[in-house]
Structure 1
Amino acid sequence: MSDNSGVRVAAVDCGTNSIRLLIGDLVDGRLVELDRRMTIVRLGQGVDATGAFAPEALERVFAATEDFAAVIRSAAVARVRFVATSAARDVSNRDAFLTGIEERLGVRPDIISGKEEAELSFRGATTSLDLPAPYLVADIGGGSTELVLGDATGVIAAESLDIGSVRLTERHVSTDPTSAAELAAITADVDALLDTAKVPLADARSLIAVAGTATTVAAVALNLPEYDRDAVHHARLTAARLRDTTTWLTTSTRAARAAVHSIHPGRVDVIGAGALILQRLVDRLPVDSLTVSEHDILDGVALSLG
């Protein structure tokens, strides 16, 4: 790293379904990306029912963290931040998780609030976007959905809702393909929480959807033969295209979804519920399209190290 390349940072985001790493150089308030990678770990496996992390889920997270730690060491990173979100907030055995990560990475995870999660997502997603304001950033995760409304001056309102792709799949889905009754139950859960949302959804003039659910939905909607991050980043989906894609994802068999190479194997089981959350959100907004961003909370965490 040369003297003018800034400070090298590493951000790790551990959510309900995946753990992700971003390494970059902070230069004049901007992030120059060097490495970005993701592993599906399903940390939230069974949490909605048991209130605790499953031992095998912890093992998967610790193994991925060891891999990330090796990458971070080889990159000569100066600052590291590890954030954990929805799945880690209320579990009974979170100390085992915190200690295990610290032993492997050398930093203690920050279990961030839903409000901070939303603000970090907003910062990461809105960098270098030119859209009508106010804009709503939606981060649909495995255990929760973060909504944040803001403009060029920053955040106006932010909220975390306990609806996510893993949580709703585990709660309601037991058939293949998902039955109409199961889809109705998911929809009812989503609508009930959106009904109570404190973020003024009707004020949004643009929707930016981030994280794995949105990027996967976009890849399917674009008919990509393989996942292509460059094609997905800042892709615009009309409301009609989103509805068609959601219909297919929620009514197809598991085998049919698994055959689509742009869907990560770790998302095959839960992408239908995630797409339905996104669909129900769009149905409430005064917008006719959404923009998908590959920049999200991970970028916000990296920027917070400046």
Structure 2
Amino acid sequence: MTRVAAVDCGTNSIRLLIAERGPDGRLVELERRTDIVRLGQGVDATGEFHPDALARTFAATEGYALLIKDAGVPADKIDFVATSAARDAGNREAFFTGIEERLGVRPEIISGDREAELSFTGALSGMAGGGPGPVLVMDIGGGSTELILGELDGTILAARSLDVGSVRLTERFLGAGPPAPDDLGRAAAYVDGLIDASGIDLGAARVWVGVAGTATTLAAVNLGLTAYDRSKVHGSIITVDALAGLLADLSAKTVEEIRAIPSMHPGRADVICGGTLVASRVARRVSTDRMVVSEADILDGIALSLLS
């Protein structure tokens, strides 16, 4: 049976999924890893990858290469996808070369539209069918946020990649925290402007699905988990009111206090407030009072693309 390896390298994290197709046609997950490498460290200000960020990313990739080799994934079934930070960095050739030397494949910098398509496909693959449409998939990354409105049959009605994410918003407006009320207000106004200019009718969504690190981390905190548990996070619900409460709570804490939350990944503690703010601005525009959190995301979309 063919095995595939999908690597998603974003502004904040790098992630691996090794999978194969099961008898029912759905993905069978064999290995899934996440490492916070902060590849986008300072890219918004300097326009280049920091040497330390490249070193962290290369070290994680070396570990992934060993897992992929041990799983017997053929070279033509490996895809390394790079998103927002890699689109913006002037010294990205050093990134390309370093990844190719370690993994044997050259990173593919995908467009925002392609990122949105893969996120939507991956998110739907993890849904248990049924329910009314349209569905809005929200993927808040470190450097960008994908908003995809579509039908449950996979038809995409509208998709936009917004030039804002948890890392970028933190570096531009919020700082080390807790952020001042004026800074939160300026950040919210900035996000509002991008959403309103996106042309997507978020109010048309009957189902709202949050994927990737911000949404899954907030789900774990909302559930009060003593340790992160994917099986409990996947399919969990965060109400709009609960999301507002999470933003108020996180924005009043220092990074050290956020890092002490049992289910919080240490590498997300300094940017989770920014990601929560983005989610809260989307919440003001959808017509549902809840967000469904999914562990299936762009990685699953990449893997399905490799298998198709």
TM-score, normalised on structure 2? 0.95
Equivalent residue number for residue 234 of structure 2: 233
How far 1:278 moved relative to its partner? 0.3
Equivalent residue number for residue 279 of structure 1: 280
Can you list the C-alpha shifts for 1:257-302, whole angstroms capped at 9, x where unaligned?
A: 1111211000000000100100110111111111000000000001
Equivalent residue number for residue 60 of structure 1: 56
Equivalent residue number for residue 37 of structure 1: 33
Give the residue type in structure 2 aligned to 1:101: I
Equivalent residue number for residue 141 of structure 2: 141
Confirm or deny: 8 A CA contact 1:85 1:117 kept in the other structure.
yes
Counterpart Cα distance in 2 of 1:193 and 1:145: 10
Aligned counterpart in structure 2 of residue 96 of structure 1, from 94, 97, 100: 94
| Residue 129 (1) aligns with residue 128 (2) | yes
Give the residue type in structure 1 aligned to 2:108: D
Matched residue of 1:45: which SS? coil
Counterpart Cα distance in 2 of 1:132 and 1:105: 42
Confirm or deny: 8 A CA contact 1:7 1:27 kept in the other structure.
no
Matched residue of 2:242: which SS? helix
Give the residue type in structure 2 aligned to 1:36: R
Give the residue type in structure 2 aligned to 1:58: L
Can you list the C-alpha shifts for 1:97-121, whole angstroms capped at 9, x where unaligned?
A: 1111011000111100000100000
Can you list the C-alpha shifts for 1:194-253, whole angstroms capped at 9, x where unaligned?
A: 110122212111100000000001111111111111110010111111111121112212
How far 1:92 moved relative to its partner? 0.6
Counterpart Cα distance in 1 of 2:181 and 2:201: 30
Can you list the C-alpha shifts for 1:139-192, whole angstroms capped at 9, x where unaligned?
A: 000000001111114211111000100001011123532111111121111111
Counterpart Cα distance in 2 of 1:59 and 1:288: 42
Aligned counterpart in structure 2 of residue 84 of structure 1, from 82, 85, 96: 82
* Structure 1, 176-185 or 158-167: larger mean CA deviation: 176-185
Counterpart Cα distance in 2 of 1:217 and 1:234: 13
Q: How many positions carry a matched residue from both structures? A: 301
Confirm or deny: 8 A CA contact 1:9 1:26 kept in the other structure.
no
Identical aligned residues as a percent:
57
Counterpart Cα distance in 2 of 1:180 and 1:197: 26
Matched residue of 1:89: which SS? helix
Confirm or deny: 8 A CA contact 1:165 1:273 kept in the other structure.
yes
Matched residue of 1:305: which SS? helix
Give the residue type in structure 1 aligned to 2:208: L
Counterpart Cα distance in 1 of 2:207 and 2:177: 35
Equivalent residue number for residue 46 of structure 1: 42
How far 1:132 moved relative to its partner? 1.8
Aligned counterpart in structure 1 of residue 20 of structure 2, from 20, 25, 48: 25
* Structure 1, 173-182 or 292-301: larger mean CA deviation: 173-182
Structure 1 residue runs of 5 or longer lacking an equivalent are: 1-5
Alignment of 1:81-230 (within 5 A): 81-127=79-125, 128-130=127-129, 131-151=131-151, 152-230=153-231
How far 1:27 moved relative to its partner? 3.5
- CA RMSD, aligned part only? 1.1
Matched residue of 2:175: which SS? coil
Confirm or deny: 8 A CA contact 1:140 1:210 kept in the other structure.
yes
Counterpart Cα distance in 1 of 2:228 and 2:186: 30
Give the residue type in structure 2 aligned to 1:147: L
Equivalent residue number for residue 296 of structure 2: 295
* Structure 1, 204-213 or 167-176: larger mean CA deviation: 167-176
How far 1:129 moved relative to its partner? 3.1
Moved over 4 A (4+): none
How far 1:122 moved relative to its partner? 0.4
How far 1:8 moved relative to its partner? 0.5
Equivalent residue number for residue 3 of structure 1: none
Confirm or deny: 8 A CA contact 1:19 1:38 kept in the other structure.
yes
TM-score, normalised on structure 1? 0.96
* Structure 1, 288-297 or 169-178: larger mean CA deviation: 169-178
Give the residue type in structure 2 aligned to 1:76: G
